Amino acid sequence: MTLRGAVLLSLIALLPMPAAGADCPRKDALGTSRVMTLDPREYPRVGLKSFPQTLPLADKEVVLTFDDGPFPATTTKVLATLASECVRATFFLIGRNAEANPAIVKRIAAEGHSIGHHTWSHRPLDKISQTQATEEIDRGIAADEKALHGAATSVPSTPFFRFPGFASTPALLSNLQSRGIAVLGADLWASDWNPMSPEQQLNLITQRLDYQGKGIILFHDTKAQTAKMLPAFLQYLRRNGYKVVHLIAPRPVKSSMNEQPFPARLN
């Protein structure tokens, strides 16, 4: 192979994977049904486990989210499974994990997934002062952004945040809303913080999903049982007519003063 050919192949490998099943190399893959632009002005906080409002999903539409990574031993397996089914998700990263594993952070983004933020060290923010909590949030965002773009900033390129343990406070929620950062809770979860077999976890999450019918699903890409369970879960979604919706951030628009981070509405 020529040097030029090798360079072209390496560039192709970095391109985001196709979103829709029709564009997926595997025609029998689950795929990503559609992309939804989440505007923090319109939906400042979503997820019925914590808030009265959630995303306007149709029946049998799901949003896949993963918390606490990146963690090399399991996040890479989760990414491989998502890629095999041409599915895109949102990863809420812990800052110190992102700092320790910048190559995986870049891989998450390169494969078309969205990157949200999950504090620096996963401290329960309702148990510390607002000043300390804000520092946890900002330090986490800065570490994620440095791993992703090479420069630390507390202004997230993707303005999505999830509280550790969903432990928010009114003051912190108000602060994040004023900064144009959407807070994502969840509509259902796999309880994968509890030890169980992959088969038990699959049964639990599919029962909950069939009961609820749609929603934002919370997993943890740091859990070995989740990484092992995920291929069967994606197959279950495909066999039972579920569709995956991928969340993205609005594109910034330029004004005469500065760049506004949230112009778009939900698709």
Is the Cβ–Cβ distance between 53 and 43 less than 8 Å? yes
Please identify which of the residues 67, 144, 192, 221 carries the catalytic annotation: 67
Query: Is the Cα dihedral 77, 78, 80, 84 positive or negative?
Result: positive
220 is catalytic: yes
Query: Using CA atoms, how far apart are residues 251 and 246, in angstroms rounded to an integer?
Result: 15
Which burial class, exposed, middle or buried, applies to 235 when counting CB atoms under 10 A from its CB (0-12, 13-18, 19+)?
A: middle
Respond yes or no: is residue 23 known to be catalytic: no
Is residue 107 classed as helix, strand or coil in its secondary structure? Answer: helix
Residues in the chain: 267
CA distance 150 to 232: 36
134 CB burial (10 A radius; 0-12, 13-18, 19+): middle
Of 68, 220, 221, 246, which residue is the catalytic one?
Answer: 220
Q: Where is 219: in which H helix or E strand? A: strand 215-220
How far apart CA 45 and CA 183 sit, in angstroms, is: 4
The catalytic residues are 67, 220
